[in-house]
Structure 1
Amino acid sequence: GQIWRGARQPLTLDETAAALKPDAPRRDGRAFGLGLLTQVSNPKTAVVYTSVFAALMPAQPSLGFLAALVVLVGCIEAGWYLVVARALSAPAARQAYLRSKGWVDRLAGGLMGCLGLRLLATATEP
């Protein structure tokens, strides 16, 4: 709901604009640590993964399956955010995203809504 409602709110890049300048000193380790802390402490991440796993995981997964799942989710998350960070670090890509932010957010909100409806539909099945 909030993704859809907030789609029209503009992003402000004033604080990060200095870090995106080509002559600014790179602090990759600090940026990585801040991003990791943000993602790990984000309750929305836990809710999304919990709902996906509730809908798609077997009832009694093995310990090996769970271990592989943790590694796989970690790789997917790291890979996704690496791709997004690299793509949006290019000025042209960043401007293209900012121009289409409303539609991107509405698409994301719609997909999350569909996942929620699927969970509701499968929760009532025997």
Structure 2
Amino acid sequence: MSSASIFISIIAALSIGAMSPGPSFVMVSRIAVSRSRADGLAAALGMGIGGAFFSILALAGLTALLSQFEWLYIGLKIAGGTYLAWIAINIWRGASKPLDIGETATMKPAPGRSFITALLTQISNPKTIVVYAGIFAALLPKTVPLGLMLALPVGVFAVEAGWYSIVALAFSAHHPRQIYLAAKAWIDRTAGAVMAGLGLELVVSGVSGR
């Protein structure tokens, strides 16, 4: 199989995974709908860089280190789950606070903050690197051409940033914002509950060694 065919196969597999609902989707959609389109796109950029970072670690063989030192993997899971739970608590606590969006918006866009929040959310789940490593192991040849190795992080960035840019553009549109404003408390509490559940699952899986 040619390097181009291998690259396309890997990107296709990663695209399906990126579109699966998870903490990243919850975070980017909420940032886009509650802040601004610029914030949503900054969050998408954070997701892309986080994904590229994990892909580089997977190619570098960090997964072998994590499998050798199980305590390190467990610690990363617990830390990541705790971070997601902390985000969930903040979302829940702010659910009842009114938010004015539009020309008289009181919340100024903060793309830098949104970028960091999204980046930390992306890298808070060490399972991502295991997924990348699994796909790489299944589809990459024993000897990986240098060009393919350099192209993969770029491809992963394009997949993650591209998908979440679509999410950001969709949720920052006028109609979704009006829906969010009309039901902010319920939407935020639902988002907080989902995020808390994902964080708890990560912590439990770490403690149980799964």
When normalised by structure 1's length, the TM-score is 0.59
Match of 1:56 in 2: 131
Counterpart among 59, 72, 86 of residue 2 in structure 1: 86
Partner secondary structure for residue 133 of structure 2? coil
Which residue of 142, 153, 176 maps to 1:66? 153
Tell me, yes or no, if structure 1 residue 82 matches structure 2 residue 82. no
Runs ≥4 residues deviating over 4 A: none
Counterparts of 2:89 and 2:115, CA distance in 1: 25
For residue 113 of structure 2, what is the aligned residue in structure 1? 38
In structure 2, what is the equivalent of residue 12 of structure 1? 98
What's the offset of the Cα at 1:75?
0.6
Give 5+ residue unaligned stretches, structure 2: 1-84, 141-148
CA-to-aligned-CA distance 1:6-31 (integer Å, 9 cap, x gap): 414323315x45149xxxxxxxxx95
- 1:121 & 1:63 partners in 2: Cα distance? 35
Cα–Cα, structure 1 residues 58 and 46, in superposed 2: closer, same or farther, change >3 Å?
same
Report the identity percentage: 11
Give how far 1:105 is off. 0.9
- Determine the C-alpha separation between the residues in 1 that align with 2:122 and 2:180: 29
Q: Provide the aligned length of Structure 1 versus Structure 2.
A: 108
Aligned pairs for 1:20-35 within 5 A: 34-35=110-111
Greater relative contact order structure (CA < 8 Å, 6+ sep): 1
- The question of whether the paired residues in 1 share the 8 Å contact of 2:88 and 2:196 is answered with yes
Partner Cα distance (1:11, 1:53) in 2? 33
Counterparts in 2 of 1:84 and 1:3: CA distance versus 1, 3 Å = same
Aligned 8 A contact 2:88 2:191 in 1: no
Segments of structure 1 that go 5 or more residues without pairing to the other structure are 21-29
Instruction: Give the superposition deviation at 1:89.
Output: 2.2
- CA RMSD after TM alignment: 3.4
- 1:80, CA displacement in angstroms? 1.7
In the alignment, the residues of structure 2 paired with residue 52 and residue 84 of structure 1 have an alpha-carbon distance, to the nearest angstrom, of 27
Whole-angstrom distance in 1 between the partners of 2:191 and 2:133: 32
Contact (CA 8 Å) 2:99, 2:181: kept in 1 or not? no
